[in-house]
Amino acid sequence: MNLTDLQQGKTAVVSDVTKLNDIVKQRLIDMGLVEGQEICLKCAMPFGGPVMVEVCGQCLSLRRKEASRIGVS
């Protein structure tokens, strides 16, 4: 399953970031979003807007399209 399948407020573990666009992947790695890390879906903006997630005690925002390429388990 991927990050967007996660229920709001629920936590999972990142299992796959290889399908991401290169720039986005690099940015997320820099911010600590890597495989094996716990991730929590905080909220999602309406009309297919970006999602807000929490990784390593800090919040990030990324587009839903990209979020759907992040595998979690």
Partner 1 sequence: MSQFALLGNPNTGKTSLFNHLTGSYAYVGNWSGVTIEKKVGKLRHQTDLLVDLPGIYSLNPLSKDEEVVTEFLLTDEFEKILNIVDASQLKRNLQLTIQLIEFGKPLIVGLNMVDVAQSRGIQINEKKLSDILGVRVVPIIARTGKGCDLLTKELTSDTRKKSPGTPTFKVDYGFLEEIIEQMSELFPDDVNLNKRWMAVQYLEGNKRVISYVSQHMPNTALLEQIKQEVEEELVKRGYAHSLRQFIYHMRDKNITHLLEQTTIVTSSTKTTTTDMIDRVVTNKFLGLPIFLFFMYVVFMLTFDWLGTPLSDVLDGFMSGPLTTWTENGLHVIGASKFIKDLVLNGIIAGVGGVLVFVPQIFIMFFLISFLEDSGYMARVAMVMDRIMESIGLNGKAFIPMIIGFGCNVPGIMAARTIEQPKERLLTILLTPLMSCSARLPVYALFVGAFFVNHRALVVLSLYVLGIVVAMVMARIFSFLFLKKEKSVFVIELPPYRVPQALTLWRSTWEKGKGFIRKAGTFIFAGSVLIWLLTYAGPHGWNVEMDDSFLAFIGGVLAPIFEPLGFGTWQAAASLLTGFLAKEVVVSTMNIIYHAPDTASLTGVLSTQYSALSALSFMSFILLYIPCLATVATIRKETASKKWTYVSVIYSLVIAYIISLVIYQIGGLFF
Residues that bind partner 1 (CB under 8 A): 18, 21, 23-24, 26-32, 34, 42-50, 52, 56-63, 66
The residues facing 13 across adjacent strands are 38
Copy the structure tokens of residue 49: 């807007």
Under a CB-based contact definition with an 8 Å cutoff, are residues 73 and 13 in contact? yes
Alpha helices in the chain (DSSP H): 22-30, 64-67
Q: For partner 1, give the closer residue by CB, 5 or 58.
A: 58
Q: For partner 1, give the closer residue by CB, 22 or 73.
A: 22
Q: How far is the CB of 1 from partner 1 (least distance, A)?
A: 20
